[in-house]
Structure 1
Amino acid sequence: MSVQLLIAQVLLLSLGMLGIAAADPDKILDHGPKALLALGLTLVVARLRPRAFLKVGPWVWVVTLVLLVLVHFIGVGTAESAGTKRWLNFGVIRFQPSEMAKLGLVLMLASFFARRGVQNKLISATGMILLTTGLIFWEPDLGSSVLMFALGIILMYAAGVRISNISGFMLALGLMAIPVAGIYLEQHPYIKERLIGYQTRDDVTAQGLDQIGMAHRDLRMGGIPGQGPDGPRYNYFGEHTDMIVASVGFTSGLLGVAMLLFAYWLIVATALDVAHLASRVRPMTPEIHGASVMAIGAMFMIVGQAFVNLCVAAGIFPVTGVPLPLVSYGFSSLLTMSLAMAVIHSAMREVRRHLPEQSENDNPVALSAD
């Protein structure tokens, strides 16, 4: 097990419970046990070797595709989702397939590149990325589909696909997407309104700039040490989900936000360390290659989504509804991101197992709790 990842996950889960307790105290009784369950799941699944993830990767991906298709027929939405269908509800089980699809794509592409290599495999990999992204785009869920597409590009780069080939693919796809984008925005005007920031201030609703403005207010009120979970505040919709950083900043102040960023940095550092150590393994086996790709993909799943969420809270990006990984309320995201953490744990342990003892000791970053 990686000490850095354990510290990062415990920090994020703790800050999430603190923020949720302040934003909506009634939900902490539901979220607390789920957070502990997610941490336990990470510790259990992390014991698997990468070959197990690579073996089940194609099956996980296919299952997530089926679930994404089912969303369009039996899916449900929420009062805040502008009539879109993004959830599957089976009584006691309610989840968002697009969250699981991210992990499915990571495992699928890592398995594909480990088994088949990267030479002349751009078309096949592109088809997998576009199929997954397209089903989410169709929901519609623009924020998640953009993240999914970016995840696929990162995975191809991590696997060793030439950057020139990736750039050419992106340029061609961008040109083809121009006419589609206009039709898409006309069919879903709420997305267009979010992208242009609304025409006038009078048209702003709780899902737009007002929400961001109130998040900024709560962050300022938190100061450096924070007001604590019982501090005086004005609640607004979304603080326990996509604007959870406002609650974290209010309760724990600048120190809490700094700890949040530090935790995500630990995840980035650990995944990059996996890739660096994997490059030292000789000979490079398919399992080590797949483990490296999985670690980078799982890292981007978490940190890429965190980047988007924090940019929304800062007012840089339009509101997307993307949760803050391992912090926001919501079991679908919490469960998937905890599994992604387990993937990085597994990859780190496997890479270290194949390193010569001298190379392992020469690396000061890779701490282990094995």
Structure 2
Amino acid sequence: MSIQLIIAQVMLLCLGVLGIAAVEPDKIADHGLKALLALGVTLVVARLRPRAFLKLGPVVWGVTLFFLLLVPFMGVGTAESEATRRWLEFGPVRFQPSEMAKLGLVLMLASFFARRGVHNKLISATAMILLTTLLVLIEPDLGTSVLMFGLGIIVMYAAGVRISNISGLILAITMMLLPLVGSYLERHPYILDRLNTHRQVEQIREQGLDQIGKAHRDLNFGGISGQGPDGLRYTYFGEHTDLIVASVGFTSGLLGVAMLLFAYWLIVITALDVAHLASRVRPMTPEIHGASILAIGTMFMIVGQAFVNLCVAAGLFPVTGVPLPLVSYGFSSMLTMSVALAVIHSAMREVRHQLADTETPAVPAGSLPTATD
């Protein structure tokens, strides 16, 4: 187990509970229980070896594709937006298949490249990425689909696909999809509304604070050390998913936001350390190659999503509906990200073990001490 990853996860889960305490005080117990369960899932799943994840990759990906296919027919929306049906409900169980699909895509691509290598495999891998991305795009969920496509590209790069091939692929896909952009935006006008609102943000703020403006105000109120959850009566928080960082900043101040960023940085350096150590293992086995791909892919899955969410909160991106990993309210995202951390734990343990075996010098038979020495 990586102590760095455990510290990062505990910090993020605690900050999430603190943020929820300000937004929805009646949901503290529910969110706290789910946070403990998510931590337990990480500790249990991390005991698996990377070969288990690589074997399960096609199965997990296939199941997530099945759920994504059900969303257009059986999906449900939220009270705020019934038009965006992104959740499935089976009795008391409600989950978001697109969250699972991110992990499924990483596992599938890592399994594919570890078994088959990267030479002449660009078309097959691209088909996997596009199929998953398009199913999410149909929901519609533009923000997650863009993240999904970027995730697939990062995994291809981590596997060893040449950057020139990836660049050509992106250009070709862009040229093919450009004619379809207009019709997609016409069918889903809420996307244009968000883009227009983002462009006119200054005009909106002249009339009164918008959603992002309120988030910035609450962050400013937090100061250096925060106001604590009791200061809620002085502020207004509209979201406990997209803009949860505003309540974290209000309750814990600049120190809390710095801890948040530090926790994500710990995840980044741990995954990069896995890739660095894996490059030193000789011979490079498919399992070690796969472990390196898994670590980088799951890291980007977590940190890439955090980057988008924080850019939305900063007002750099329009509102996308992407939650802040391990912090925002919502069990689908929290559970998926906890499993992703478990994958990095597993990859780190396997790479360290293999590296220790390959770097331990063999002891000559004649040099062992005898009973008469």
Q: Same fold (TM over 0.5)?
A: yes
- Per the TM alignment, residue 209 of structure 1 is displaced from its structure 2 partner at its CA by 7.5
- Tell me the equivalent position of 1:274: 274
Can you list the C-alpha shifts for 1:132-163, whole angstroms capped at 9, x where unaligned? 00000011000000000000000000000010
Can you list the C-alpha shifts for 1:272-306, whole angstroms capped at 9, x where unaligned? 00000000000000000000000000000100000
Q: Point out the structure with max Rg over C-alpha.
A: 2
- Per the TM alignment, residue 237 of structure 1 is displaced from its structure 2 partner at its CA by 2.3
- Tell me the equivalent position of 2:147: 147
CA distance in 2, matches of 1:33, 1:356: 38
- Per the TM alignment, residue 234 of structure 1 is displaced from its structure 2 partner at its CA by 2.4
Is the CA contact (8 Å cut-off) linking 1:218 and 1:233 kept in structure 2?
Answer: no
- Tell me the equivalent position of 1:233: 234
CA distance in 2, matches of 1:252, 1:277: 36
Q: 1:322 to 1:134 in 2, by over 3 A?
A: same
Question: What amino acid does structure 1 have at the position aligned with 2:238?
Answer: F
Task: Look up the SS of the partner of 2:246 in the other structure.
Answer: helix
- Per the TM alignment, residue 204 of structure 1 is displaced from its structure 2 partner at its CA by 6.1
CA distance in 2, matches of 1:358, 1:59: 32
Task: Look up the SS of the partner of 2:229 in the other structure.
Answer: coil
- Tell me the equivalent position of 1:365: none
Is the CA contact (8 Å cut-off) linking 2:76 and 2:82 kept in structure 1?
Answer: no
- Per the TM alignment, residue 200 of structure 1 is displaced from its structure 2 partner at its CA by 5.6
Can you list the C-alpha shifts for 1:300-353, whole angstroms capped at 9, x where unaligned? 010000000000000000000100000000000000000000000000000000
Question: What amino acid does structure 1 have at the position aligned with 2:224?
Answer: I
- Tell me the equivalent position of 1:67: 67
Task: Look up the SS of the partner of 1:230 in the other structure.
Answer: helix
TM-score, structure 1 normalization: 0.93
Question: What amino acid does structure 1 have at the position aligned with 2:235?
Answer: Y
Alignment coverage as a number of residue pairs: 357
Is the CA contact (8 Å cut-off) linking 2:46 and 2:342 kept in structure 1?
Answer: yes
| 2:96 is aligned with 1:100 | no
- Tell me the equivalent position of 2:220: 220
- Tell me the equivalent position of 1:283: 283
CA distance in 2, matches of 1:107, 1:121: 16
Question: What amino acid does structure 1 have at the position aligned with 2:221?
Answer: M
> 5+ residue gaps in structure 2?
361-373
- Tell me the equivalent position of 1:187: 187
Equivalent residues in 2 for 1:103-122, closer than 5 Å: 103-122=103-122
CA distance in 2, matches of 1:202, 1:10: 38
CA distance in 2, matches of 1:79, 1:175: 37
Q: 1:123 to 1:188 in 2, by over 3 A?
A: same
* Aligned-residue RMSD, C-alpha: 1.8
- Per the TM alignment, residue 82 of structure 1 is displaced from its structure 2 partner at its CA by 5.2
- Tell me the equivalent position of 2:78: 78
Is the CA contact (8 Å cut-off) linking 1:197 and 1:209 kept in structure 2?
Answer: no
- Per the TM alignment, residue 79 of structure 1 is displaced from its structure 2 partner at its CA by 2.1
| 2:57 is aligned with 1:57 | yes
- Per the TM alignment, residue 92 of structure 1 is displaced from its structure 2 partner at its CA by 1.0
Q: 1:150 to 1:91 in 2, by over 3 A?
A: same
Q: 1:204 to 1:94 in 2, by over 3 A?
A: farther
Q: 1:189 to 1:289 in 2, by over 3 A?
A: same
Which sits farther off after the overlay, 182-191 or 293-302?
Answer: 182-191
Question: What amino acid does structure 2 have at the position aligned with 1:186?
Answer: E
Task: Look up the SS of the partner of 2:89 in the other structure.
Answer: strand
- Per the TM alignment, residue 235 of structure 1 is displaced from its structure 2 partner at its CA by 2.5
Question: What amino acid does structure 2 have at the position aligned with 1:150?
Answer: G
Is the CA contact (8 Å cut-off) linking 1:222 and 1:251 kept in structure 2?
Answer: yes
Question: What amino acid does structure 2 have at the position aligned with 1:64?
Answer: T
Q: 1:199 to 1:106 in 2, by over 3 A?
A: closer
